[in-house]
Structure 1
Amino acid sequence: MTAPVFSASAQRDWETLLTWRRDVRHFLTQPLPEGLLETLLHATCLAPSVGLSEPWRFVRVNTPERRAAIRQNFIRCNSHDLEGRSGEEAHRYATLKLSGLDEAPHHIAVFCDTAPLQGRGLGRATMPETTTWSAVMAIHTFWLTATAHGVGVGWVSILNPAEATTTLSINPNWQFLAYLCVGYAREPASTPELERRGWERRNAARRRWIDR
């Protein structure tokens, strides 16, 4: 079998894809076309995993009651997080996260089966956490694939994992990793919103190798 050769144009397109993969916080409420979520999941499962264990578990959160419970989970956790912070910026950032939960037409929770039978434990003897890293790779693959299809993704990380697991009636042995808001971005952008608002900026030093 001959490996494909990616043209210079394809390489530039790849960098453009990485540039436009943003953490979206404002969504249009229209659902994605029928079948598109399945297309994204199919591509996501091409992600690498330790021992071919495929430990990721993607859960669509459809019921209003469960979505409302996740929203309350966020509000409680966010209020606790803001107790030690001051300034309007912290509150504005919290509002951005809540907007995604309210507007995004699709909610997807991602879990990791940290001890899957699939893969037979290969590659995990000294670093069992590689199952978690594999599931995170799947999240990134989902995110990039969604971007390629013009779909926005926002990662809500201010949640109590145990409470979210209970809310979604998920196996308590699975590790909660992410709650993703998915839909069309209201205002697509090629730069992080935190950078555009002057809250943070990329560090050029991170683009250099560390040599030893």
Structure 2
Amino acid sequence: MVQKPHAFVADEVRAVYRAIRERRDMRHFAGGEVAPEVLQRLLEAAHHAPSVGFMQPWRFIRVRDVGLRQRLHDAVERERVLTARALGEREDEFMRLKVQGLLDAAELLAVSLADDRDKHVFGRRTLPQMDLASASCAIQNLWLAARAEGLGMGWVSLFDPVELSTLLGLPEGAEPIALLCLGPVHDFYEEPMLQRERWAKREPLSALVFDERWGRPSDLFSPTPSSVEPA
């Protein structure tokens, strides 16, 4: 195979796609620790994410205090119960999904949008939510880097943002968006946990990609002569 200009070598390409495919939203952790130099690498990966207008809206708070972790866990548990009630007939099914990672994971990182992000207009005048999109890119970078390092990560978003802001001492205008549980795991799920638990399943890509306008199936997934089974 001819090497394309600017492309990584084949083994590196496979490693990137492997990290993407094997990344999991983890809920079970094995304790242990994350070496400081590894955590710095992961945060550096997050910090190299793209951001609209180069605004870099992400802020990370490393939570090591056991008491604070417990208070954050309690806040998440209260929201988990309220979410379960809102789900109606799926309440019992939802309550079987645990969020113990806040207590069990080696590291807990709270992610917040910065308090001064409204000054950034470039790329946000009509789409102000691009601050959240940019911070999500940073979280994904961290997630993929963690998987490559053999560490699990889970994104917890079951919380009241006002309560979390108080617990974490956020300034006015900052907005918490994630609690990230990070650390060694006993094993990675073979498939996404919510798919394994039959909560939902991955949609076929062909149903989510359109040509020219919404709803028009993309030719990208049309059968080609080489892929059609012989009659």
TM-score with structure 1 length normalisation?
0.88
Q: Which residue of 2 aligns with 1:5?
A: 7
Give yes or no for contact 2:80–2:95 (8 Å, CA) kept in 1: no
Give yes or no for contact 1:23–1:155 (8 Å, CA) kept in 2: yes
Q: Which residue of 2 aligns with 1:91?
A: 95
Structure 2 residue matching 1:181: 3-state secondary structure: strand
Structure 2 residue matching 1:83: 3-state secondary structure: helix
Distance 1:168 1:105 in 2: 19
- Paired AA for residue 30 in structure 2: L
Structure 1 unmatched runs, 5+: none
Q: Out of 6-15 and 56-65, give the one that drifted further.
A: 6-15
Which of 1 and 2 has higher RCO (CA within 8 Å, sep 6+)? 1
Larger Rg: 2
72, 75, 80: which one aligns with 1:73? 75
Q: Which residue of 2 aligns with 1:22?
A: 24
Q: Which residue of 1 aligns with 2:39?
A: 37
* Deviation of the 1:144 alpha carbon: 0.8
Aligned residue-pair number: 206
Cα 1:53–1:185 change in 2 (3 A) is same
- Paired AA for residue 24 in structure 2: R
* Deviation of the 1:206 alpha carbon: 5.1
Distance 1:208 1:86 in 2: 28
Distance 1:73 1:116 in 2: 26
Structure 1 residue matching 2:144: 3-state secondary structure: helix
Alignment map for 1:5-154 (pairs within 5 Å): 5-84=7-86, 85-86=88-89, 88-93=92-97, 96-97=98-99, 99-113=100-114, 115-116=116-117, 121-154=121-154
Give yes or no for contact 1:77–1:159 (8 Å, CA) kept in 2: yes
Structure 2 unmatched runs, 5+: 213-231
Distance 1:114 1:6 in 2: 38
Residue identity (%): 32
Structure 2 residue matching 1:185: 3-state secondary structure: coil
Question: Is the aligned partner of 1:167 residue 2:172?
Answer: no
Cα 1:57–1:171 change in 2 (3 A) is same
Give yes or no for contact 1:19–1:191 (8 Å, CA) kept in 2: no
Say what the alpha-carbon RMSD is for the aligned residues: 2.0
- Paired AA for residue 96 in structure 2: R
- Paired AA for residue 111 in structure 1: S
- Paired AA for residue 167 in structure 1: L
Question: Is the aligned partner of 1:191 residue 2:191?
Answer: yes
Distance 1:110 1:164 in 2: 11
Structure 2 residue matching 1:35: 3-state secondary structure: helix
- Paired AA for residue 105 in structure 1: A
